[in-house]
Structure 1
Amino acid sequence: MRRHSLAAAAALMAVAGPMVIAAPAFATAPPASVTWTKCPAYSDEVLEFLGLPPADRPAFHELWARAECGTVAVPLDYRKPRGRTITVAITRLKATDQKRQLGSMALNPGGPGGAGYLLPIQFGLRPGTAKLNERYDLIGFDPRGVGYSTQVDCEPADGPPPTSPITKRQAKQQYAELVRASRACAAKDPAFLSQITTGNIARDLDRVRAGLGERKLNYYGVSWGSWLGPVYRSLFPSKTGRMWVDSVAIPDPRMDRFEAERAMATHRSFTRFAAWIARFDDTYHLGRTGRQVEATLAAMRADFEANPRQFTDLPFPIGGFEIGLTAGVPSVDWTLFARALADLRTWTGTTAPESLKRLIGGPGPGGEPPAGLPELFNETAGQAIFCNGDGGRRDFESAWKAYQDRLRRYPVTGVTSHYLPPCAGWSLPVERIRLHHGGGSLVLSGHRWETPSVFEWTAEMHDAVGGKVVTIDDDVHGSVLDSADCLARVARFFETGSVGARTCEGIPVPTGPDDLPGPQAFGTQSRSGLHP
């Protein structure tokens, strides 16, 4: 429940003029090949740290014994294909039915900056997605800058921001610190960091395809992976097979627009939550209509902002930001968060209510990460990918003005939006990718009510790249594989090329206050989708 890390959101300063990079010719590049190596060993301590239940560990080891691991050498700069090279780490889980094998399917979890090395195993551990491995070789990969692939790590900006309310003076001080940290990052290895772009990762993926000896590459991606997929299809239309992307990304990656539209979607999600709370006013006592609940929580947020609660058993105070964050959650968590909001409204104890402590949880696995733990996310790569593609405004004043406007328009959830331009000060060139209607079969699944990938972006991406749209009637980021009807649609598409009906139910809203969410599967992303 803490405010997002500024280092994860930040990059820095005015950029050079945007440049359009077209797909390079590979005629002078060395042939692509995979160097197969021994897969890393993962101890039970590592699997425990990753959240894999003991009962599933034998299945993990069985799948991992089938996996193949390797690296593909790729040009750092595709304009200089025989210059400096880096490596991209991949895994392959071969199809169990090789006689009817349909090709290779690359998997991407989003981020940007997310590692995909273990995704084939994660798919294999779930009965629904394991079906995809019957006729497809599942390909995991760590994008350049991430995990086992070549990377450069920068130090994050110093210190977390203060809790709300934030003053303009404090925000300016944070802006200056972010500029300092990002300038230092960009200067660490500008030749490398300038080449961590979505376009280059798509080009790397095509080198992986060639190294595997595949004529075409099939693909499944979620969140930022839904941007990478269409970019690959635009650059390599004749090399693209079947592609499904979920929680569709904004096709115009301007971070100022990204922030504004996410804030709108967060408020829209909150109004649904408020209407749901009102249905159970006998339990929560926050209002009998959605508008009454919205007014109650707006007053509550203002009160907590003016008078933060410091409980003796929590390491940080609960202020207006935390109330706003609690009100903007996806529906799978409504029962937990509604109970916490109801308890906080009337709580007078010195220790926190149990409902709030349940949300915050314990410290996680605890202790030092075990030896051999794979990297699941790389902040430096995430920052570079975002900011090497961001063509939006980066000055402090415009970002602060937009933040103040969001506070007025969204009195409960506006406080959770960013008040600094995420790429302010990033000094490396911006890559522009022209999206096109391309080859292969493409499905874009958008979630009507979700916050991280705003539903309207699905239609925009469809206009830019074509394909077919499937509308999922839920608000859970990247959940197409988590509901039986939607998962069946994905499996049918990759087996036959047909998508069937253009809607599916998705994750249903809770039926009442006692309808608690179940545990997440091993290695899945946060339901809130904090990384786009």
Structure 2
Amino acid sequence: MKLSKRNGAATLGLALGATGFGLVGTASAAPDTASQSSVTPAIAWQACPQYSDDVLGFLGVQPKDRAAFRTMWARTDCGTVSVPLDYRHPEGQHVTIAFTRLKAKDQAHRQGVLFMNPGGPGGSGYLMPEQLALQNPADAQLNDQYDLIGFDPRGIGYSTSYDCSGIQGGPPPQSGQMTKAQVRQAYDQSAKTNAACSSSDPAFLGQLTTANAARDLDQLRRALHERQASYFGVSWGTQLGAVYRSMFPATIHRMWLDSVVSPRAYDLAYRIDDSTQAMEQDFGLFAAWLAQRDSVYGLGDTAQKVTARVLALREQGDAHPWQFTDMASPLGGGFIAFLASSQNTGWEQAAAALKNMTTAVSGQPAPPGVPAAAGSDGPPPPPPSGAPQAFNPTAQQAYLCNEDDSSRAFEPLWDEYQRNLRQNPVTGDLTALRPTCAGWTLPVQHFTLRYSSGSLEMSGHRYETLTPYPWVWQMRDTIGGTVFTVDDFRHGSLAQVPVCAAHLAAYFETGAPDSGSCPGLQPGDAT
């Protein structure tokens, strides 16, 4: 097993990938004091890394935006703070937390610092201030009165990190329903990899928890000499925000959490149950849309007929996968489930591919639109020299498995997989098998979510599946706050859509609660 430990390695980027979740438990039954020593942490300021045009392109910065990025980057400060690896032993080993500060443009009306996290766990937020500000003028407005603080949580990016080979950060790719022997093989491989990784450096990996990441944020607040801090988090960043607010309620100025996890999201089995159900429910909307366009796609003139046709196509793919002459890998029921799981912004492409798959024949070229829908253009090119890594799979696995309280035995996983296939027959091929923490040798560590009356906005997306809409209401009942609704399918899209981002900017400017809504990302919108 190849291992490399880094303190300041180049692994940053804006990642809104798989969502991870923490555990509600008992380790912090009262606001946290473990990180509040009498000594204010010192900041080690340093020159910011410089990025070529090739690297900026890799990071998603469009050519038209590169001058603006470099203008912001020129006024960005970069630094690190040393924090205890284990807050129970502050005199012991320390690790570094890397961060950036894009100072407020209107210093006369400055409202403090605004921490931001893009999700994961495992995603870097080091460049999030600049990347967010480039999305639209409403996002850029956040920098008028706030110092925007990007940071890499412990274990990620320029902060002290660690890599285990073989960690994938999710279930194996699926072309269709898996047999018990195939699931067992994947389970055994996961258990072997997890055991090797978690036992390779337990002292470090065991300290990758949401509670410790929250303590690190409080240390960074103190190092910046701020009495309070604001926070914007997406996806797993909402878990970090909820824990941060629960542990240090008096230090929070304003907070907005977008695509909010459930208070019960520490249980990966619960997470998958809710997500698979939401995916199948969304297909019902897609089926109704297809039925209204039967003259175009020919899949049925009622939602029931469309569902039956797509289900039959999925079953056909599971029984006899299509092997096309111009595609390296076969397409099975999992591909049909993938098309059926499309968000509304991709319904036209998915519908055309479904129509063409009804007449597809193995041994011939793939029907028009199918290779593009399948993403069969091959692996992405390697990153350019000097490009930072956008995501750390080892950190994701550690944060998840150090806090996941679901069963790690094989039979419950198999039973869960079978149940989700039965309950979600159209889309379950894609969604039913969850990641597993089998073999992870480190103990589960608990934290507590606490209700408080401080300023808090949370946005849920009505039709999204990674963090289903009911979760934002569950979190509201647990920690407080006001719920804002985004009427789209897209995970974490609030800041991407100007009309929605305007609500975000207005909240951080005024602090006024906002229980309204916005349309979110719709078909035809630029992404």
Please, what TM-score do these two structures have when normalized by structure 2? 0.90
Q: Does residue 40 of structure 1 match 2:59?
A: no
Separation in structure 1 between the aligned mates of residue 28 and residue 302 of structure 2, nearest angstrom = 52
Superposition pairs for residues 253-292 of structure 1, below 5 Å?
Answer: 253-292=266-305
The question of whether the paired residues in 2 share the 8 Å contact of 1:448 and 1:455 is answered with: yes
Q: Structure 1 residue 482: deviation in Å? A: 2.7
The question of whether the paired residues in 1 share the 8 Å contact of 2:294 and 2:301 is answered with: yes
CA deviation vs aligned residue, 1:355-406 (integer Å, no higher than 9, x gap): 1222344657954322221121110111111111111112111111111111
Q: Structure 1 residue 440: deviation in Å? A: 3.0
Separation in structure 1 between the aligned mates of residue 204 and residue 377 of structure 2, nearest angstrom = 35
| Range with bigger deviation, 322-331 or 449-458 | 322-331
The answer for the alignment partner of 2:239 in structure 1 is 227
Letter in 2 for 1:63: M
Within the candidate set 280, 291, 297, 2:310 is matched to 297
Superposition pairs for residues 129-528 of structure 1, below 5 Å?
Answer: 129-156=139-166, 163-252=175-264, 253-348=266-361, 350-361=364-375, 363=377, 366-419=380-433, 422-438=436-452, 440-508=454-522, 510=523, 516=524, 518=526, 520=527
The question of whether the paired residues in 1 share the 8 Å contact of 2:19 and 2:119 is answered with: no
Letter in 2 for 1:395: A
Separation in structure 2 between the aligned mates of residue 213 and residue 439 of structure 1, nearest angstrom = 24
The question of whether the paired residues in 2 share the 8 Å contact of 1:9 and 1:423 is answered with: no
Separation in structure 2 between the aligned mates of residue 343 and residue 240 of structure 1, nearest angstrom = 53
Separation in structure 2 between the aligned mates of residue 296 and residue 32 of structure 1, nearest angstrom = 62
| Range with bigger deviation, 365-374 or 277-286 | 365-374
Q: CA 1:376–1:364 in 2, change beyond 3 Å: closer, same or farther? A: farther
Within the candidate set 66, 77, 87, 1:57 is matched to 66
Q: Does residue 95 of structure 1 match 2:108?
A: no
The answer for the alignment partner of 1:526 in structure 2 is none
The question of whether the paired residues in 2 share the 8 Å contact of 1:251 and 1:464 is answered with: yes
The question of whether the paired residues in 1 share the 8 Å contact of 2:175 and 2:332 is answered with: yes
| Range with bigger deviation, 46-55 or 463-472 | 46-55
The question of whether the paired residues in 1 share the 8 Å contact of 2:493 and 2:521 is answered with: yes
The answer for the alignment partner of 1:20 in structure 2 is 27
Separation in structure 2 between the aligned mates of residue 111 and residue 26 of structure 1, nearest angstrom = 24
Separation in structure 2 between the aligned mates of residue 20 and residue 82 of structure 1, nearest angstrom = 20
CA deviation vs aligned residue, 1:75-117 (integer Å, no higher than 9, x gap): 1111111111000110111111111111110111011111101
| Range with bigger deviation, 189-198 or 40-49 | 40-49
The question of whether the paired residues in 2 share the 8 Å contact of 1:444 and 1:470 is answered with: yes
Q: CA 1:39–1:421 in 2, change beyond 3 Å: closer, same or farther? A: closer
The question of whether the paired residues in 1 share the 8 Å contact of 2:132 and 2:495 is answered with: no
The question of whether the paired residues in 2 share the 8 Å contact of 1:75 and 1:81 is answered with: yes
Please, what TM-score do these two structures have when normalized by structure 1? 0.90
| Range with bigger deviation, 128-137 or 152-161 | 152-161
CA deviation vs aligned residue, 1:43-63 (integer Å, no higher than 9, x gap): 111112223222221111111
The question of whether the paired residues in 1 share the 8 Å contact of 2:335 and 2:374 is answered with: no
Q: Structure 1 residue 328: deviation in Å? A: 0.9
Letter in 1 for 2:34: A
The question of whether the paired residues in 1 share the 8 Å contact of 2:233 and 2:257 is answered with: yes
Letter in 1 for 2:373: L
Query: What root-mean-square deviation, in Å, do the aligned CA atoms of Structure 1 and Structure 2 show?
Result: 2.3
The question of whether the paired residues in 2 share the 8 Å contact of 1:245 and 1:444 is answered with: yes
Letter in 2 for 1:190: P
Separation in structure 1 between the aligned mates of residue 369 and residue 337 of structure 2, nearest angstrom = 17
Q: Structure 1 residue 504: deviation in Å? A: 2.5
CA deviation vs aligned residue, 1:306-364 (integer Å, no higher than 9, x gap): 11112222221111111112211221111221111111222348222331222344657
| Range with bigger deviation, 479-488 or 403-412 | 479-488
| Range with bigger deviation, 209-218 or 497-506 | 497-506
Separation in structure 2 between the aligned mates of residue 230 and residue 55 of structure 1, nearest angstrom = 36
Secondary structure of the corresponding residue to residue 310 of structure 1 = coil
Secondary structure of the corresponding residue to residue 481 of structure 1 = helix
Separation in structure 2 between the aligned mates of residue 481 and residue 101 of structure 1, nearest angstrom = 21
Letter in 2 for 1:52: V
CA deviation vs aligned residue, 1:124-145 (integer Å, no higher than 9, x gap): 2122200111111110001111
Separation in structure 1 between the aligned mates of residue 151 and residue 506 of structure 2, nearest angstrom = 24
| Range with bigger deviation, 342-351 or 356-365 | 356-365
Letter in 1 for 2:384: P
Letter in 1 for 2:97: V
Q: Structure 1 residue 235: deviation in Å? A: 0.2
Structure 1: runs of 5 or more not aligned: 1-7, 11-17, 511-515, 521-532
